[in-house]
A and B are shown apart, each in its own frame.
Chain A
Amino acid sequence: GAVVSQHPSRVICKSGTSVKIECRSLDFQATTMFWYRQFPKQSLMLMATSNEGSKATYEQGVEKDKFLINHASLTLSTLTVTSAHPEDSSFYICSAEGSRGQREQYFGPGTRLTVT
Chain B
Amino acid sequence: AQSVAQPEDQVNVAEGNPLTVKCTYSVSGNPYLFWYVQYPNRGLQFLLKYITGDNLVKGSYGFEAEFNKSQTSFHLKKPSALVSDSALYFCAVRDRAGANNLFFGTGTRLTVIP
Q: Which residues of A contact B (CB under 8 A)?
A: 4, 6, 32, 34, 42-44, 46, 49, 91, 93, 95, 97, 103-110, 112
Q: Chain A's nearest CB lies how many Å from the CB of B87? A: 14
26 contacts between A and B (CB under 8 A): A4-B43, A6-B43, A32-B100, A34-B101, A42-B107, A43-B90, A43-B105, A44-B104, A46-B101, A46-B102, A49-B99, A49-B100, A91-B41, A93-B44, A97-B100, A103-B49, A103-B94, A105-B34, A107-B44, A108-B43, A109-B42, A109-B43, A110-B41, A110-B42, A110-B43, A112-B41
**Which residue on B lies nearest to A4, using beta carbons?**
B43
A75 to B61, CA, bound (A): 28
Give per-residue flags for B94-114: 1 if the beta carbon is below 8 A from chain A beta carbons, else 0. Answer: 100001111111110000000
Q: Which residues of B contact A (CB under 8 A)?
A: 32, 34, 36, 41-46, 49, 51, 90, 94, 99-107
Most chain A beta carbons < 10 A, residue from B42, B43, B46, B102? B43
Pairs A-B, 3 closest by C-beta atoms: A107-B43, A107-B44, A109-B43
Contacts of A32 in B (CB 8 A): 100
Taking a contact as CB atoms closer than 8 A, the residue among A44, A95, A103, A110 that contacts B32 in the complex is A103
Most chain B beta carbons < 10 A, residue from A93, A97, A103, A109? A103
Contacts of B46 in A (CB 8 A): 104-107
Contacts of A34 in B (CB 8 A): 101-102
Taking a contact as CB atoms closer than 8 A, the residue among A43, A103, A112 that contacts B107 in the complex is A43
**Which residue on A lies nearest to B96, using beta carbons?**
A103
Most chain B beta carbons < 10 A, residue from A4, A34, A44, A91? A44
Contacts of A44 in B (CB 8 A): 44, 90, 104
